[in-house]
């Protein structure tokens, strides 16, 4: 069944950021800069570019700088205006012009599934997108809009998958899929959160973009803590993949485009270097320097 147009994006940003300690002791990991913008800004921009106009961020303790970043900063704006620095003024205003963002606090770190459940009152009975901050999708890609189309077509829920080396699958949710003839999306038969390398049903990894049917909320309410003692979104989606009622059925879009992982220190550094090397202002200079540095 096709429901209304998708307008809502849920952006979980309540994680403790333990993989980045000590940098994240007093600041949220979502604020770590990727070249010159905090990682979270790329994600909000992606949602807005996909036409999502109602943004809800799930935050927690120590996340106030996220709200400040997307708010106006009149003192700073005035100072830049007085200096006649229009370029920097534009950059500062970009973040607050992305649209109103709503915030709700998760309260307790009970997992991604629980974070999504915190959005239920705001989202109500509509399909919605979920964007995780650790994955940056290149702005030239259309992954999210493709996934929204698949949701509208199937009436179920949609996940994004990438092929990974089998040795890496234990860092991700993993999907067992079947191709659908004539379609460029797949049916998801089974999902397992972070399986051991030898036990994974495939090398297809779940990445941080979802378009979900609102029935996920009812399922999450009844999902027991899973891996790591946390309520896992993957486990709720497994229930929905196997279910038959309204809104059940999980589909996958296999993404082959450009994605940058900022989830741990090494992949974050790679993401920063890749994106910096593409900047017109200093990309060429950076690449020349890197070549000389590596020798």
The sign one gets for the Cα dihedral 114, 119, 123, 128 is: negative
Place of tokens 């705001």: 122
Compute the least distance from the CB of residue 234 to ligand G1P, in Å.
4
Residue among 80 and 236 whose Cβ is closer to ligand G1P: 236
**What does DSSP say about strands 101-105 and 157-163: parallel, antiparallel, or unpaired?**
unpaired
Name residues contacting ligand G1P, limited to 153-182 (CB under 6 A).
172-173
CB of 94 to ligand G1P, least distance (A): 26
Which one among 46, 54, 134, 235 touches ligand G1P, defined by CB under 6 A?
134
Q: Could you give the angle at the alpha carbon of 229 between the alpha carbons of 226 and 234, nearest 5°? A: 35
Least Å from the CB of residue 161 to ligand G1P: 9
Residue with smaller CB distance to ligand G1P, 165 or 181: 165
Count of CB atoms within 10 A of residue 164's CB?
18
Q: Phi first, then psi: what are they for 175, rounded to 5°?
A: -120, 140
Q: Which stretch binds ligand G1P (CB under 6 A): 96-104, 136-144, 181-189, 226-234?
A: 226-234
Q: Is the Cβ of residue 32 or residue 233 nearer to ligand G1P in the bound state? A: 233
- Distances in Å between the Cα of 114 and the Cα atoms of 15, 110, 111, 147, 160 are 11, 6, 5, 23, 20
Which of 208, 214, 226, 252 is the binder for ligand G1P (CB under 6 A)? Answer: 208
The minimum distance between CB 233 and ligand G1P, in angstroms, equals 6
Give the whole-angstrom CA distance, residue 146 versus residue 148.
5
Which C-beta is closer to ligand G1P: that of 156 or that of 173? 173
Q: Residue 10 interacts with ligand G1P (CB under 6 A)? A: no
Is 30 a binding residue for ligand G1P by CB under 6 A? The answer is no
Q: Of the listed pieces 23-31, 130-138, 181-189, 210-218, which binds ligand G1P according to CB under 6 A?
A: 130-138
The least distance separating ligand G1P from the CB of residue 173, rounded to whole angstroms, comes to 3
Among 66, 161, 206, 216, binds ligand G1P (CB under 6 A): 206
Residues whose CB is less than 8 angstroms from the CB of residue 255 and which lie 6 or more positions away in sequence, other chains included: 137, 141, 143, 160, 161, 162, 207
If one asks whether residue 193 binds ligand G1P (CB under 6 A), the answer comes out as yes
Q: Which two tokens stand for residue 285?
A: 């200079």
CB of residue 71 to ligand G1P, shortest distance in Å? 26
User: Binding ligand G1P by CB under 6 A: which of 207, 211, 231, 253?
Assistant: 207
Binding site for ligand G1P (CB under 6 A): 112, 132, 134-135, 172-173, 193, 205-208, 232-234, 263
């Amino acid at each position: 069944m096709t429901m209304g147009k998708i307008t809502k994006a849920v952006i979980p940003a309540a994680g403790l950021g333990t993989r980045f300690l000590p940098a994240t002791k007093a600041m949220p990991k979502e604020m770590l800069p990727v070249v010159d913008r905090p990682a979270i800004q790329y994600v909000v921009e992606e949602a807005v570019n996909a036409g999502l106009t109602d943004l809800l961020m799930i935050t927690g303790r120590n996340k106030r700088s996220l709200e400040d970043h997307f708010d106006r900063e009149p003192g700073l704006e005035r100072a830049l205006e007085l200096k006649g620095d229009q370029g920097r003024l534009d950059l500062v205003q970009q973040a607050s012009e992305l649209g109103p963002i709503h915030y709700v606090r998760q309260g307790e770190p009970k997992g991604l599934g629980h974070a999504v459940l915190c959005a239920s009152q705001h989202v109500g009975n509509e399909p919605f997108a979920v964007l995780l901050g650790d994955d940056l999708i290149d702005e030239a890609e259309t992954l999210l809009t493709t996934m929204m189309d698949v949701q509208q077509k199937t009436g179920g829920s949609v996940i994004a998958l990438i092929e990974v080396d089998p040795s890496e699958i234990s860092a991700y949710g993993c999907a067992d899929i079947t191709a659908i003839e004539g379609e460029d999306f797949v049916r998801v038969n089974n999902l397992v959160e972070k399986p051991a390398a030898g036990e994974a049903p495939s090398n297809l990894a779940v990445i941080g973009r979802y378009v979900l049917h609102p029935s996920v909320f009812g399922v999450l309410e009844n999902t027991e803590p899973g891996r790591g003692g946390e309520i896992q979104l993957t486990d709720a989606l497994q229930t929905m993949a196997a279910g038959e009622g309204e809104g059940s059925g999980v589909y996958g879009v296999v993404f082959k485009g450009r994605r940058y992982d900022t989830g741990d220190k090494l992949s974050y550094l790679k993401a920063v270097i890749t994106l910096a090397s593409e900047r017109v202002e200093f990309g060429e200079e950076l690449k020349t320097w890197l070549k000389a540095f590596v020798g």
